Structure 1
Amino acid sequence: MEAVLLIRRALMLLIFSRRVPVEVMGLTGNASARPSFVNVGALFTFDSVIGRAAKPAIAAAVDDVNSDSTVLPGTKLNLIFHDTNCSGFVGTIKALELMEKDVAVVIGPQSSGIAHVISHVVNELHVPLLSFAATDPTLSALQFPYFLRTTQSDYFQMYAIADLVEFYGWREVIAIFVDDDYGRNGISVLGDALSKKRAKISYKAAFTPGAPRSDINDLLVGVNLMESRVFVVHVNPDSGLTIFSVAKNLGMMTAGYVWIATDWLPSMLELSELVDPNTMDLLHGVIALRHYTPDSDLKKSFTSRWKDLKSKETSSFNSYALYAYDSVWLLAYALDVFFNEGGNISFSSDPRLHDTNGSTLHLTALRSFDEGQKLVQTLVGMNFTGLSGQIQFDPDKNLIRPAFDILNIGGNGSRRIGYWSNYSGISVVAPEILYMNPPNTSSSNQHLYSVIWPGETTNQPRGWVFPNNGKPLQIAVPYRVSYKEFVTKDKGPLGVKGYCIDIFEAAVKLLPYAVPHTYMLYGDGLRNPSYSNLVYGVAQNKYDAAVGDVTIITNRTKIVDFTQPFIESGLVIVVPVKETKTSPWAFLRPFTAEMWCVTGAFFLLVGAVVWILEHRQNHEFRGPPSHQLITIFWFSFSTMFFAHRENIVSTLGRLVLILWLFVVLIINSSYTASLTSIFTVQQLSTQIEGIDSLISSIDPIGVQDGTFAYNYLIEELNIAESRLRPLKNMDEYANALQLGPKRGGVAAIVDELPYIELFLYNTDCKFRTVGQEFTKSGWGFAFQRDSPLAVDLSTAILQLSESGDLQRMHDKWLSLQGCSSQASQVDGNKLSLTSFWGLFLICGVACFLSLAVFFCRLCSQYRRYQPEGEGQEIEAPEHTRPRRAMRSTSFKDLIDFVDKKEAEIKEILKRKSSDHKRPASQSSDGQTSSPS
């Protein structure tokens, strides 16, 4: 009934209103002078959490502006309040009533829904709309050029919540919101923000504005049966507590639950008369966001003034009071600039607003603000510091540097655990301090203080549980017909068994919660199933997970989430081999003929060099010529086995021998290794030696039926599909390889390493792998996208690996004797001179230098020991001169001559030494005689 009266009143005003024909309000003289007053409308719900704080703040701001002679000199703001009564329709009527009074600006509304409707009105009448509380992000659209928000947009608040979700590692949230423009549009932005963090809204729980308690109860009962335990509450302050009251009764405020509230909750709690112990008990452990306003002298001064305001209805205020106060000052500063630039507050009739068909609404009574667009541009360009901080707008008409306090509610109030800003993300440092440093939103720079969660626990909630509908996980298991050691059907309670099943069961037991699950065989049991289709079934929600020998490849990771790999894998190539026939002359095969010849020559060379160097001083290298020749041969070849008996006494001889023994050591080692390889290696039956030769050949290739290798060879390696032969089991593997490509078999088989290891073991190592693994991957368990189980099971698999249980399960099912991994061609084992010419060069140079030094020393000694008169003794005749005699003298005579002279010198020195040592003797006359 009251609404009908209000509507009737509005219509009567439109019909019977009469306009004073003035162009400028309060102007009595020159039109270019400033008006004596400017009408300003204030439109919001008085009896609301936001309204009770905003109304006295707006009134105080108008009084401060009107009393400040430095702002708008000669002009006063005439404030006109209108109550929207929490109704979109009433708000529209009140907005029209304000337009009748030729208001230059409307401050408000607080409701995003009403702001959407009024924005269409001000668009037509060109009246700026300054909202201090409408946070719907879509109001910043180009559709509403006359709407200007003087508070923070929910766009930034939702990104702050997304950063919180990422910080704590949650992947899914449930959004509880009021189903109006404010709620829907805010949650829509939250969904976009979460998707950028690889998280999502798993369920949107909406309720109508003013919904009864029973509807909210039914809503929470439904969401409590779901998996996620992270709830984001985005509602109106006046009805938000009902949600927590119902949640308390349903046991949803206990350990394991996470509640995140938007700024509506701190705004309500900051009004002290509403906070009581029962209310705080409902909210214990809740995380909430609050608009951040830096501490300043202006803010402290306003706080001290608040208790003296006559029009206030509360003993405290919230952040919306600060934004409302700053909105008035923003208008005052903008009007001052507007008037200084020659602007006028004038209105004119809009030709589009006219009455038709005998209408009595008198739409012509509504007039538009002539220079409204200019005033809007002036408002957007303002920059000053108010109670809420810096007031400046970005190109999207949002306040710059958005920031929020992150609060943890509990006890008798709230505790700030950190801040969020779009400049540096989550931090425990105040935003104004971070603004002095370069922006840093890296994960290592995100920090928060500890949180007391619901249930009075400091342990971070996991954020999800298994649904309470009693349905276990449906896990698909491949029904294999080969390689059953990995996974196969079983008659036991589980219905399946194998290496992969043991690992999954062991990992599940390590989880801190129960995971009810059942196994479902995938396949007909006649041939191995398609693993790609199996993974696709998980992605399409046909199964909750896939457990088995599922390879982690790029295409599959795009549609499902995998756990940590529990075994390494990769594609390898298997080829047939043939045994090498042993020859009686196989011992000659390690070296080439050239190598044998050079090696033998150096044995003789080194023996001759050592004989020359040792013959003069070492009696073991003397004797009859036949004996010395035998000694040279014996010494040379005995060094091959380090069995020479002759002692080397000369320095040069030892130098040559040391270098030669080093060469012999290298030659012996290489010969032994090469001969061993010749006797033990097997030769390939085909020319395929690796992935390159496989691609370039035209022979058929075998692949395991059902694996990803088939598509990989076609799509990644561009191998013709006609060359591929699907094989079902190990028997087909062996037969195809033994037949070979010429008899209907295959030249090689491409499969994953774990399968090949089993195949080689079961075929007594009759086949070999060639080349290296040309893919690197692993096996993991597949889950639906963003499943928390994938993360928890990955941690459990790492624990199994660290404890050694993973290896023990591997040994239980796959304890195999390894086969040599690769085969090589025998021809490649022959060693040529090319590999050793450096060693021979060093040894040859050492021999040459030693001989040169030896002969130089010999010639020097000969010249020193030749008698002085020997030259004259044989002057004539010419044919008997010593030179000719010397020419005919043999090398042996030269050495004997030098040795004889050295012996004589040694004898003289020995005799002199003995004479010095003989004691002095007495002569016959009693005198002592000295030796001469």
Structure 2
Amino acid sequence: MDKLKAGPLLRLLCLVCIGFALPVPVFAARPANVSIGALFTFDSVIGRSAKGAIELAVADVNRDASVLNGTYLSVVEQDTKCSGFLGIIQGLQLMEKKVVAVVGPQSSGIGHVVSHIVDELRIPLLSFAATDPTLTSSQYPYFVRAAHSDLSQMAAVADVVTYFSWREVTAIYVDNDYGRAALDALGEQLQSRRSRVSYRAPFPPGAGRAAFTDLLLRVSMMESRVIVVHASPDSGLGIFAAAHSLGMMSSGYVWIATEWLAAALDSSSSVSTVGMLQGVVTLRQYTPDSDAKRSLMSRFSQSGMNAYGLFAYDAVWMAARAIDQLLEDGSNVTFSDDARLVANGSTTRLRLGALKVFDQGEQLLGKLTTLVNFTGVTGRALAGPAYEVLNVGGTGVRRVGYWSNATGGLSVAKPDADAGEANQQLHSVIWPGQTSRRPRGWVFPNNGKALRMGVPYRTTYKQLVSRDASGPDGASGYCVDVFKAAVSLLPYPVPVAYELVGDGVKNPSYGDLVQRVADGWLDGAVGDISIVTNRTRVVDFTQPYQLSTGIQGLDGLIASSDPIGFQVGSFAKSYLMQELGVPESRLRELAINDYAASLQNGAVAAIVDELPYVQLFLSTNCQFRTVGQEFTKSGWGFAFPRDSPLAVDLSTAILTLSENGDLQRIHDKWLSPGQCASSDANSVGADRLSLSSFWGLFLICGVACFIALLIFFFRTLRQYFRYHGHAANEVDPDAFPPPVMDAGGSTVAGRMSARRPARLTSIRDLMTFVDMKEAEVKRRKKMMNEDSSSGSRLDRSAGPSSSSFSPV
């Protein structure tokens, strides 16, 4: 019996033992508290906004039951005090407190250092204000950008510069990682749009009013008046205060500030601050309107919320959602020692042993990078960057447009995922000086340096351009006078220094002269420089001031096999070979002094050259002449470095010279015909048509016109007499008024007393008839014929008594 009772009990014990031996799934309990860190400067424009936003976000997360599911989120804040050194120390102390993620840092420089730390400790870093483009996830795997980088912002600035057709800008920037990286990005963006940063003006972090004044004095001496300011919200306003006191916020200047200025104005836009910023254009990161955004702004209205605060708020929510997903997957939150930090007793001296590696950091990083559909108060996370373009004026700012990377540029419409390409349009801007007229954007530099203009030292045909030892400029000629006249029309003074290029023995190479301009050895080149494609690729030219070249009678010349001459250094060789297909074996390079001999001895059948050279040659060599028609080419121009604003202004001045006749007067002064002027009609102009060439045609046309006139006159007279004959047969009752009785009882016809000379009446009738149209004449003749026939019938039916009358 005891054995029977013991059996079931034994079997039960065995089952229990087997049950303990089987694996049982274990679920980690959610931690009661999870901490994140926040690293920024408390007492700063960005920091004050970020601090309030972070604390509001943590409170909102803890109130939301759908996030973290009972796990309390806490934040540990560390103040970097705008110091790189203290930022490193505060970052290390923050890691000691076992935070699973860090929101920040505010500074790009601190971001570089702290990124190295979090990479080793596997703690994700969510930056809401470090916009340095070189802070990338490829270099720092645990760096997660929660705001757009300056790469997109500088693209927006470059588009604004391009939209207003400016080619050069002066960049004022803080000399640290944040400023230097942004400036490099701006230079690349401008270069892709054929613009450039012409002058860089860095200032050290923490610079004061005196440093800003010295910097702006240097800026005022530069050529560009388009100034881009990239600073921090705390130091940037000092630049504008100094500019205002120096009179640099006046008409003619263009000030473009990056998004730091909008953050400063959003935080505290006092009347005095706005007053010194009149006409400034700035950017602000675009965040779409939403109920969540409006609610947050209303709760934060007392402290001044800016765009950085909005991104900090969203960064906390991103961290909270990623932690929630990590815990939902059953992961725990644990930390472990790093063996490298405790080696050789280093923990005793630096307490590095307190730094722990976050075991689940890689998993949390993966959750953060997959939150592409997260939508916060700034819109959808990781969406395409967009900016508002703002203009400071009056007592605040007004929006003049938007820039969006998704739509490809500037637009007056809000950025929208479904919108088409941007129309590259902005509303009108009120610039400094209270003007809506677009500033030119540059002035001639006020630094005492004259414009260095290269002049070819020609040895032949010095009427065009060459050395002039007796003159004050050291150069003279047709081209130099054209340049001087054009410069005199500019609305600003341009001091010029002429530098001769050449040895005075032979004409210099104009290709080498243009290359010196392209390489920066010269500021420009004056002379008979032909505008051809290979030169326009390296420099800019002004409006051509000689529009025709002397390429004559090409068709017959090309069809033959005769040799063709061209001037040494002329573009005619490349033109004949590349565009007209003339083989090089037929071309002969000649000096101008050899033209006459080469044509006389048959060395060449013809010479192809530019019209001014041809005119000068023919003025002293009467036995030669041009044949065929002139060939139009680009002409001559002054060479300037690429995108030089002087090229545009001087082109306008040359057009003015052409319109007012000064260009022709300069031409006549230097290039007027010489001793062959009297024989031009028999030699140079022998193949040209004149009025005398058409005397036969004029005679035939004159005789034909005279005969046609006679025919018309006789035909008109014939029609008039026929018309007058019909009119004479008509009886007008009004022509004979009733007779009246005089005192003697005799009858007097009243009409006879008003009789006019018949000749005068006939002449006037003829003139009236000539003015009448032929169709009108025919119509009246037809009516008179019909009236005449009708009157005859009435007379026959009435009888003789019907037309008689008896006086009373």
Query: Would you call these one fold, judging by a TM-score over 0.5?
Result: yes
What is the match of residue 369 of structure 1? Answer: 358
Distance in structure 2 (CA, Å) of the matches to 1:172 and 1:810 = 35
- Superposed displacement of residue 151, structure 1: 1.2
**Could you tell me the TM-score, scaled by structure 2's length?**
0.75
What is the match of residue 751 of structure 1? Answer: 609
What is the match of residue 568 of structure 2? Answer: 705
- Superposed displacement of residue 456, structure 1: 2.2
- Superposed displacement of residue 199, structure 1: 1.0
Letter in 1 for 2:334: S
| Distance of aligned partners of 1:358 and 1:270 in 2 relative to their CA distance in 1, 3 Å threshold | closer
Distance in structure 2 (CA, Å) of the matches to 1:343 and 1:793 = 72
**Could you tell me the TM-score, scaled by structure 1's length?**
0.65
What is the match of residue 690 of structure 1? Answer: 557
Distance in structure 2 (CA, Å) of the matches to 1:772 and 1:99 = 82
Counterpart of 1:380 (choices 355, 361, 369) is 369
User: Number of aligned pairs?
Assistant: 654
What is the match of residue 404 of structure 1? Answer: 387
- Superposed displacement of residue 196, structure 1: 0.7
- Superposed displacement of residue 540, structure 1: 3.4
Distance in structure 2 (CA, Å) of the matches to 1:227 and 1:191 = 17
| Distance of aligned partners of 1:168 and 1:429 in 2 relative to their CA distance in 1, 3 Å threshold | closer
What is the match of residue 336 of structure 1? Answer: 324
- Superposed displacement of residue 725, structure 1: 4.6
Distance in structure 2 (CA, Å) of the matches to 1:418 and 1:803 = 42
**Corresponding position: 1:782 with 2:639:** yes
- Superposed displacement of residue 553, structure 1: 2.1
- Superposed displacement of residue 790, structure 1: 0.6
What is the match of residue 21 of structure 1? Answer: none
What is the match of residue 146 of structure 1? Answer: 142
**Corresponding position: 1:293 with 2:307:** no
| Distance of aligned partners of 1:431 and 1:804 in 2 relative to their CA distance in 1, 3 Å threshold | farther
Could you tell which deviates more after superposition, 328-337 or 491-500? 491-500
| Distance of aligned partners of 1:438 and 1:449 in 2 relative to their CA distance in 1, 3 Å threshold | closer
Counterpart of 2:450 (choices 465, 468, 472) is 472
Letter in 2 for 1:290: R
Counterpart of 1:276 (choices 267, 270, 294) is 270
Letter in 1 for 2:264: M
Distance in structure 1 (CA, Å) of the matches to 2:463 and 2:596 = 18
Alignment of 1:634-713 (within 5 A): 689-691=556-558, 693=560, 699=563, 701-709=564-572
- Superposed displacement of residue 241, structure 1: 1.5
**Corresponding position: 1:110 with 2:106:** yes
Task: Specify which structure has the bigger relative contact order, considering alpha-carbon pairs within 8 angstroms and separated by 6 or more residues.
Answer: 1
- Superposed displacement of residue 514, structure 1: 2.2
What is the match of residue 905 of structure 1? Answer: none
| Distance of aligned partners of 1:349 and 1:391 in 2 relative to their CA distance in 1, 3 Å threshold | farther
RMSD (Å) for aligned C-alpha atoms: 3.0
Letter in 2 for 1:796: A
Letter in 2 for 1:37: N
Could you tell which deviates more after superposition, 515-524 or 129-138? 515-524
Contact between 1:574 and 1:748, CA under 8 Å: does it hold in 2? no
Distance in structure 1 (CA, Å) of the matches to 2:600 and 2:399 = 75
Whose radius of gyration is greater, 1 or 2? 1
Distance in structure 2 (CA, Å) of the matches to 1:693 and 1:71 = 91
Contact between 2:450 and 2:497, CA under 8 Å: does it hold in 1? yes
Letter in 1 for 2:600: Q
Contact between 1:689 and 1:770, CA under 8 Å: does it hold in 2? no
Distance in structure 1 (CA, Å) of the matches to 2:660 and 2:387 = 44
What secondary structure, in the 3-state scheme, does the structure 1 residue paired with 2:74 have?
strand
Distance in structure 2 (CA, Å) of the matches to 1:480 and 1:120 = 65
| Distance of aligned partners of 1:376 and 1:530 in 2 relative to their CA distance in 1, 3 Å threshold | same
What is the match of residue 43 of structure 2? Answer: 47
What is the match of residue 736 of structure 1? Answer: 598
- Superposed displacement of residue 214, structure 1: 2.1
What secondary structure, in the 3-state scheme, does the structure 1 residue paired with 2:535 have?
helix
Alignment of 1:608-619 (within 5 A): none
1:547-569 superposed Cα distances (whole Å, 9 cap, x missing partner) = 22101123322332211222235
- Superposed displacement of residue 462, structure 1: 1.4
- Superposed displacement of residue 58, structure 1: 0.8
What is the match of residue 439 of structure 2? Answer: 461
Distance in structure 1 (CA, Å) of the matches to 2:49 and 2:687 = 82
| Distance of aligned partners of 1:800 and 1:388 in 2 relative to their CA distance in 1, 3 Å threshold | farther
Identity of aligned residues (%): 54
Distance in structure 2 (CA, Å) of the matches to 1:322 and 1:764 = 85
Letter in 1 for 2:305: F
| Distance of aligned partners of 1:36 and 1:765 in 2 relative to their CA distance in 1, 3 Å threshold | farther
What secondary structure, in the 3-state scheme, does the structure 1 residue paired with 2:448 have?
coil
- Superposed displacement of residue 571, structure 1: 7.2
Contact between 1:258 and 1:463, CA under 8 Å: does it hold in 2? yes
- Superposed displacement of residue 772, structure 1: 8.8
Contact between 1:770 and 1:821, CA under 8 Å: does it hold in 2? no
What is the match of residue 312 of structure 2? Answer: 324
What secondary structure, in the 3-state scheme, does the structure 2 residue paired with 1:326 have?
helix
- Superposed displacement of residue 517, structure 1: 2.0
Counterpart of 1:73 (choices 69, 74, 94) is 69
What is the match of residue 340 of structure 2? Answer: 352
Counterpart of 1:556 (choices 516, 526, 535) is 535
1:812-862 superposed Cα distances (whole Å, 9 cap, x missing partner) = 655776957999xxxxxxxxxxxxxxxxxxxxxxxxxxxxxxxxxxxxxxx
**Corresponding position: 1:94 with 2:94:** no
| Distance of aligned partners of 1:336 and 1:801 in 2 relative to their CA distance in 1, 3 Å threshold | farther
What secondary structure, in the 3-state scheme, does the structure 1 residue paired with 2:514 have?
helix
What is the match of residue 380 of structure 2? Answer: 391
Letter in 2 for 1:109: P
Letter in 2 for 1:80: V
- Superposed displacement of residue 204, structure 1: 1.3
What is the match of residue 643 of structure 1? Answer: none
Distance in structure 2 (CA, Å) of the matches to 1:100 and 1:541 = 56
Contact between 1:285 and 1:409, CA under 8 Å: does it hold in 2? yes
- Superposed displacement of residue 169, structure 1: 1.3
What is the match of residue 493 of structure 2? Answer: 514
1:320-355 superposed Cα distances (whole Å, 9 cap, x missing partner) = 111111111112222233333344322222333332
Distance in structure 1 (CA, Å) of the matches to 2:449 and 2:94 = 59
What secondary structure, in the 3-state scheme, does the structure 1 residue paired with 2:28 have?
coil
Could you tell which deviates more after superposition, 258-267 or 90-99? 90-99
What is the match of residue 648 of structure 2? Answer: 791
**Corresponding position: 1:437 with 2:419:** yes
Contact between 1:177 and 1:207, CA under 8 Å: does it hold in 2? yes
1:284-322 superposed Cα distances (whole Å, 9 cap, x missing partner) = 221111111122221111122225xxxxxx532111111
Contact between 1:528 and 1:728, CA under 8 Å: does it hold in 2? no
| Distance of aligned partners of 1:339 and 1:753 in 2 relative to their CA distance in 1, 3 Å threshold | farther
**Corresponding position: 1:531 with 2:510:** yes
Distance in structure 2 (CA, Å) of the matches to 1:336 and 1:797 = 72
Contact between 1:355 and 1:364, CA under 8 Å: does it hold in 2? no
What is the match of residue 480 of structure 2? Answer: 501
Contact between 1:177 and 1:187, CA under 8 Å: does it hold in 2? yes
Counterpart of 1:452 (choices 430, 442, 447) is 430
Distance in structure 1 (CA, Å) of the matches to 2:284 and 2:148 = 10
What secondary structure, in the 3-state scheme, does the structure 2 residue paired with 1:548 have?
coil
Contact between 1:563 and 1:781, CA under 8 Å: does it hold in 2? yes
Distance in structure 2 (CA, Å) of the matches to 1:753 and 1:475 = 24
Letter in 1 for 2:643: D
Distance in structure 1 (CA, Å) of the matches to 2:277 and 2:576 = 59
What secondary structure, in the 3-state scheme, does the structure 1 residue paired with 2:344 have?
coil
